[in-house]
Amino acid sequence: MNKADIGLIGLAVMGENLVMNMESKGFTVAVYNRTVDKVDKFIEGRAKGKNIIGAHSLEELIANLKSPRKVMLMVKAGKPVDDFIEKLLPLLDKGDIIIDGGNSHYPDTQRRTEYVESKGLLYIGAGVSGGEEGALKGPSIMPGGSKEAWPPVKPILQGIAAKVDGHPCCDWVGEGGAGHYVKMTHNGIEYGDMQLIAESYILMRDMLKLSNDEMSKIFAEWNKGKLDSYLIEITADILSYKDEENKYAIDYIMDTAGQKGTGKWTAMDALEEGVPLTLIAEAVFARCLSSDKEQRRHAEELLGKNSPKAPEDKEQFVKDIENALYAAKVISYAQGYVLLRSAAKTYGWNLNFGGIALMWRGGCIIRSAFLGKIHEAFTENPDLENLLFAPYFANAMKEAVPSLRRICSYAMQEGVAIPSMASALCYWDGIKTFSSGANMIQAQRDYFGAHTYERTDRPKGEFFHTNWTGEGGDTQSGVYNA
């Protein structure tokens, strides 16, 4: 067999399926796995008769690669990635490329890019989304790292990526950890989308007392309109799924949501950047609240269970939930893009915001028709400060926000927790308020800590301190820390 176009390490769910995808697109792939038995099992199984070369050592893997060598890691994020880099470095030559396709945290990718480059090699940290099916049939891939590495890797990564209207859902994102940053934000947005769907479900289940089949039909209907997306589609399927005992699976799945950390990373980074990413943060906290079921049982017994009443016009309420979900989703993406813009400035990345929407348009978990509109908004105005200011979304929000307001008011009144929808509405009302209550916070900070404040009747950048009690003197917090 000829030498391979690329080597892949890590034959678990993602790795195996990516290899099959690469091979089906005409690339020869060499494979290796820490537990070497898995290599033989793969070669004798799914890979039998394909242009896939099994290697029993890293030396054998490297010897089977065309130059410049490209080695992709699909292993557990964290230390295993660093360990493999260390093992690969002595085996590779100048200009060879290491690609990490796992869910690495972007500061690690930033660090690894610099480290690998310092050894004369090139590094790519590529976020891959789409799960098992995406890996096999076409994922969304967000590569960043050493810019020089992109041209040799591009035909392979774009070749295996999902395509929407012939356009690959994969393009160069930026240097250092940019690819993994965009993937992290994608995952954060995924947390938000999932929470909003869960809130819509609970509103219909607990307030309207709809059956699983009724809800399934509603989600399927929504999937034909402005909410058309993978997550809405699978929600319809999940709700109607019955097991071999004719039981609805959704009814016995424990309501304790797990998480692997990418939503938390996104929320933490938003705090670092000072960006109000409220909806995603609430989605992460909602998973935290869900995770302690025993505490919720105790609280329900001790503090009382809510018994929400159904609204009179159920049909209108369902329409309102659809619009509320849409409005909140627009706000979530607007917040996500503000975070990307802020990070781009912090790290000096020249992010193509419209291009990112195209990368998310297919192949990944948040894929949706809606991302096409985001792409159009950034194509019209690449410097768009906030998605809510794009004419299309500003108009769409004018129509949808009254529903969001009705849903939030009713749910609050009846005691149904919808934290992400509520945070969306607060953001919407907050961003449209030129005169906020933060003057009181500034006054308080100055009162107890002499932190100073700017005045509305003086130029910005001039700071003032008031001696509120007549006892503090003129000392300001630049001089001492209270």
Give me the sheet containing 122-129, strands edge to edge. Answer: 52-54, 29-32, 6-9, 70-73, 97-100, 122-129, 140-145, 174-175
Distances (CA, A) of 325 to 81, 100, 220, 401: 38, 35, 14, 10
Q: 103 or 229: whose CB is closer to ligand NBP?
A: 103
Minimal distance, residue 87 CB to ligand NBP, in Å: 9
Choose which of 8, 19, 38, 126 interacts with ligand NBP (CB under 6 A).
38
| Closest to ligand NBP by CB, 13 or 299 | 13
- Shortest distance, position 33 Cβ to ligand NBP, whole Å: 5
Q: How far is the CB of 107 from ligand NBP (least distance, A)?
A: 15
Min CB(329)–ligand NBP separation in Å: 22
Residue type for 157, please?
Answer: L
14 touches ligand NBP (CB under 6 A):
yes
Q: At 199, phi and psi to the nearest 5? A: -70, -40
Return phi, psi of residue 4, to 5°: -85, 150
Q: DSSP for 32-46? A: E-SSTHHHHHHHHTT
Residue in 16, 23, 70, 183 annotated catalytic:
183
Measured at CB, which residue is nearest to ligand NBP? 102
Please select the residue that binds ligand NBP; options are 13, 271, 299, 412, rule is CB under 6 A.
Answer: 13
User: Tokens 């990307």 sit at which residue?
Assistant: 340
- Count residues binding ligand NBP (CB under 6 A): 22
Minimum distance of ligand NBP from residue 118's CB (angstroms): 23
Pick the stretch among 128-136, 280-288, 341-349, 367-375 that binds ligand NBP (CB under 6 A): 128-136
Q: Rounded distance, CA 236 to CA 256, Å? A: 20
Total residues found in the chain within this entry: 482
Is 190 a catalytic site residue?
yes
Question: Which residue out of 16, 23, 190, 282 is catalytically annotated?
Answer: 190
What burial letters (b/e) apply to 408-428, b meaning 16+ CB within 10 Å?
bebbeebebebbbbbbbbbbb
The full 3-state SS of 219-236, as one line of letters, equals HHHHCCCCCCEHHHHHHH
Among 28, 33, 368, 420, binds ligand NBP (CB under 6 A): 33
Check residue 34 for interaction with ligand NBP (CB under 6 A): yes
Beta bridge partners of 167: 164
CB of 36 to ligand NBP, least distance (A): 8
Looking at the Cβ atoms of 69 and 183, the one nearer to ligand NBP is 183
x-or-dash string of contact with ligand NBP, 92-111, rule CB under 6 A: ----------xx--------
To which H or E segment does residue 163 belong?
strand 163-164
**Smallest gap from residue 112 Cβ to ligand NBP (A):** 13
- CB within 8 Å of 332: residues ≥ 6 apart: 189, 192, 193, 196, 279, 280, 420, 424
SS3 167: strand
Q: What is the DSSP letter of 140?
A: E
Stretch that binds ligand NBP, among 30-38, 304-312, 347-355, 419-427 (CB under 6 A): 30-38
Amino acid identity of residue 137, one-letter, is: K
- Nearest to ligand NBP of 101, 176 (CB atom): 101
- Beta strand pairing call for 163-164 and 122-129: unpaired
User: Should residue 258 be labelled a site residue for ligand NBP when binding is judged by CB under 6 A?
Assistant: no
Q: Residue 197 in contact with residue 232, Cβ under 8 Å?
A: yes
Question: Site for ligand NBP (CB under 6 A): which residue of 46, 50, 66, 80?
Answer: 80
Residue 445 neighbours by CB distance under 10 Å: 15
Bridge partners (DSSP) of residue 70 are: 97
Select the span of 6-14, 52-60, 143-151, 394-402 touching ligand NBP (CB under 6 A): 6-14
Contact positions with ligand NBP (CB under 6 A) in 40-79 = 74-77
Could you tell me the smallest distance in angstroms from the CB atom of residue 103 to ligand NBP?
A: 3
171, 359 in Cβ contact below 8 A? yes
60 as an active site residue: the answer is: no
Which residue numbers are catalytic?
183, 190
Residues that bind ligand NBP (CB under 6 A): 10-15, 33-35, 38, 74-77, 80, 83, 102-103, 128-129, 131-132
